[in-house]
Amino acid sequence: MHKTVVAIAGVKCAKVRTQRNGNGLVKFPRFALRDFVLVARALQHPASILALKGPCRVVKVDSDHRLEVQQLVPPGETSLHHTSRLRFYCEGGRDIDEDLKAHIAFGDEGF
């Protein structure tokens, strides 16, 4: 019986070791200054439900994983977010004009 327990424990340890080594690190996207992003905010206390707000612009990079973003509509507040809460905004190459500001303001209020 002792041999089977040792064999099973060895198999379990090897499986856990390969899973741990195989996963590697979590890969976060690399944001740069002036990138347009969407910010995920928790709607309920256990942060299982997230709502994307934005677009916002990256104005300061504190570290690889902490970024300061600024809202594009007035009052233009800045807030600090972790990279895991940010998503790239697909129309980020556009310049900010009045039409984009109107679209953002309407989108944040809902229908």
Specify if 20 maps to a domain: no
Domain count for the chain: 1
Neighbours of 57 (CB within 10 A): 19
Q: What average pLDDT score do residues 4-27 get?
A: 80
Whose CA is closest to 95, among 29, 33, 34? Answer: 34
pLDDT digits (tens, 9 = 90+) for 61-108: 998 889 999 998 888 899 999 998 999 987 655 666 777 677 766 665
Q: Which CATH number belongs to the domain containing residue 75 in this structure?
A: 2.30.30
What's the domain range around 48? Answer: 28-108
Q: How confident is the model at residue 25 (pLDDT cuts 50, 70, 90)?
A: low
Within 8 A by CB and 6+ apart from 22, the residues are none
Specify if 23 maps to a domain: no
pLDDT digits (tens, 9 = 90+) for 40-64: 987 777 666 788 888 899 999 998 8
Q: Distance (Å, rounded) from C-alpha 8 to C-alpha 24?
A: 25
Specify if 64 maps to a domain: yes
